[in-house]
């Protein structure tokens, strides 16, 4: 495994002279490790980097963040050593909101990413159809996590592990639930959006709403699966990323 560039970015394979960097932002409750298996699929000329937020994995002792905006300055600092290398930002669910906020900040700095790829996330101007869940009592919160399907049942069943993870999970869902921009400006960046055909958390129509922000072209790809379709559709997602920008 390649060493992290900072506490915020984890590499999984050393690339001697990468032509581009694919930066992946995980969904709520997840860490950089969810993208470990992507390293073999992206190709030998592409550096794969995964974002690790505070409160998980090697950063489990750090307090988690509660707002997307709070993560952006540190993410920009972590990306700065990459210099002028083309960046592809990919995020799923909460990760899509983080990738978008990072892309917007990079545009403001005069260094827009080559591509913003968003997955399993409604467009930022669309409010969630469900009430916030981060403030539910523990039993109701765990029940909601089980319904979403992103947390392994054995983790949900372990009281000690859940006690350790609940503050981070609640913070992530608070971050996700609060992110809303009623009138977002368009980005001078092409946007590639992925939707799960059976996803009830972010419907195909809601994901298609990202077209409103795409000032340099928009593509929507609908793939089989529910909200966590990215796990079963990794090969297809990487293939479409390559088709758009590799």
Token code pair at residue 235? 């090969």
- Record the pTM: 0.93
Residue 89 sits at φ, ψ, to 5 deg, of: -105, 125
Catalytic residue among 21, 134, 176, 227: 227
Write down the pLDDT at residue 1: 55
Write down the pLDDT at residue 145: 81
**Those residues with Cβ within 8 angstroms of residue 49's Cβ, 6 or more apart along the chain or in another chain:** 5, 9, 10, 11, 21, 22, 23, 24
Write down the pLDDT at residue 163: 84
How far apart CA 22 and CA 159 sit, in angstroms, is: 36
Write down the pLDDT at residue 238: 94
pLDDT digits (tens, 9 = 90+) for 18-57: 999 999 999 998 999 999 999 889 988 999 999 999 999 9
Write down the pLDDT at residue 81: 92
Catalytic residue among 21, 92, 93, 119: 93
The structural domains of the chain, with segments of one domain joined by +, span 9-126+182-245
Which fold is adopted by the domain 9-126+182-245?
A: Rossmann fold (3.40.50)
165 in helix, strand or coil? helix
- For residue 9, give the nearest of 93, 78, 76, 84 by alpha carbon: 78
> Is position 44 annotated as part of the catalytic site?
no
What residues form DSSP beta bridges with 88? 22, 115
Write down the pLDDT at residue 13: 87
Write down the pLDDT at residue 133: 78
> Is position 93 annotated as part of the catalytic site?
yes
* Tens digit of pLDDT at every position of the chain (246 positions): 555 568 999 999 888 889 999 999 999 989 999 999 998 899 889 999 999 999 999 999 999 999 999 999 999 999 999 989 999 999 999 999 999 999 999 999 999 999 999 999 999 999 988 878 777 787 788 888 887 777 777 877 788 888 888 899 999 999 999 999 999 999 999 999 999 999 999 999 999 999 999 999 999 999 999 999 999 999 999 999 988 776
């Amino acid at each position: 495994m390649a060493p992290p560039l900072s506490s915020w970015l984890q590499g999984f394979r050393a690339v001697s002279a990468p032509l581009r960097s694919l930066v992946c932002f995980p969904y709520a409750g997840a860490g950089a490790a969810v993208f470990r298996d992507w390293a073999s699929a992206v190709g030998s000329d592409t550096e794969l980097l995964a974002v690790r937020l505070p409160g998980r994995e090697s950063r489990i002792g750090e307090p988690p963040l509660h707002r997307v905006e709070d993560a952006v300055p540190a993410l920009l600092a972590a990306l700065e050593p990459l210099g002028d290398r083309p960046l592809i930002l990919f995020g799923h669910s909460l990760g899509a909101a983080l990738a978008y906020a990072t892309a917007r900040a990079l545009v403001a700095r005069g260094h827009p990413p080559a591509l913003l790829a968003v997955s399993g996330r409604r467009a930022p101007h669309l409010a969630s159809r469900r009430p916030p869940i981060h403030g539910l009592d523990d039993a109701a919160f765990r029940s909601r996590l089980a319904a979403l399907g992103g947390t392994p049942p054995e983790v949900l069943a372990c009281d000690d592990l859940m006690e350790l993870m609940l503050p981070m999970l609640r913070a992530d869902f608070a971050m996700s639930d609060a992110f809303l921009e009623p009138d977002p400006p368009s980005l001078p960046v092409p946007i590639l959006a992925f939707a799960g055909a059976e996803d009830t958390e972010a419907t195909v129509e809601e994901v298609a709403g990202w077209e409103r922000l795409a000032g340099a072209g928009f593509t929507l790809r609908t793939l089989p699966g529910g909200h966590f379709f990215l796990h079963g559709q990794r090969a297809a997602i990487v293939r479409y990323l390559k088709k758009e920008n590799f």
